[in-house]
Amino acid sequence: MGGHHAASGAAAWVAVTATTPIAFGWYPVSDVGIMTGAIVCAGAALLPDADHHSGTIANSLSPVSDAVVKVVETVSGGHRKGTHSILGVLAFTAMAWLVGLLAIDTGLEGDLGTILIGPGIVCVLLVAFALKALKITRDTKILPWTVSLTLAVLIAIFAPSEWYWMPFSVALGCVVHIIGDMLTTQGVPLVWPLKFRSPTWMRDGRGLELDMIWRNGGNLSLPILGDAGSVREWLFMTPVSLYAVVGIAWAALDQMGFDTMAVWDGLVNGIGDLVTSWF
């Protein structure tokens, strides 16, 4: 579901970029980068669904999002085709990188010398996607533009160096989306435009359940979560969503100067003492 895609994108960003004890820190960014990147990656985790004219994000930033969705839907061949493949991830990442090259030289000293307007444009669109999927903006017309533009301008002025993670954010969000869809019964066409149909013997009832993994239309699936929107999906995504919230809040507190590690160490020691007393 759209909201869960967005939450998984935010959670993945926290896990990969934060250097706190609850994350991996494989691609470290600043606290500002963690907070803003989580929102952007949440939007990027919806990009593969830009192939559906009636999807969650189609009307998230009208009229721009409508036009984008129509183009993507036409180029990708329809829903759950090109954008849900390895080629789709590469295409979205390449576009984010190319747009990210757009910049304005202001002639000023320091961070304001070069303003990266390309990533700002991408940010406006992706933030609007995330707000729509998380039902923050719902059907309002002005709020998506206001929030998205404000965030993009603030980063462009006060933390322009944060934009350099934009292509990685788009790639991570798209990969997380595809993994999420792959865990449902419909699956994804990973090697699109190539289409390998499952063997006949797998479709005639003698496939030993392999037909659930290699779908009749050629999609690959590992349907651990069942159908999209199932109870299993909700049970899985609730802690994932909470993890994203905790990671963003942690970064916000660090940015404000709170000693979060002291609180964490106290919590860990308290749990350790409690377990020791029990055993």
Among residues 252, 225, 250, the alpha carbon closest in space to that of 238 is found at 225
pTM: 0.88
pLDDT in tens, 170-225: 999 999 999 999 998 888 888 888 877 666 665 555 545 566 677 766 788 888 88
Q: What's the CA gap between 235 and 239, in Å, rounded?
A: 8
What's the pLDDT score for residue 216?
A: 66
Residues counted in the chain:
279
pLDDT in tens, 34-49: 998 999 999 999 999 8
Here the tokens at position 219 are 């999609």
Kindly state the DSSP code that residue 189 receives in the 8-state scheme: -
Here the tokens at position 123 are 């940010």
SS3 of 149, please?
A: helix
For residue 169, the surrounding DSSP H or E stretch is helix 166-182
Q: What's the CA gap between 24 and 27, in Å, rounded?
A: 8
> Positive or negative, the Cα torsion across 35, 38, 39, 40?
positive
89: confidence class by pLDDT, cuts 50, 70, 90: very high
Question: Within 13 A of 144's CA, how many CA atoms are on the CB side?
Answer: 28
Start-to-end C-alpha separation, the chain: 43
pLDDT in tens, 4-31: 999 999 999 999 999 999 999 999 999 9
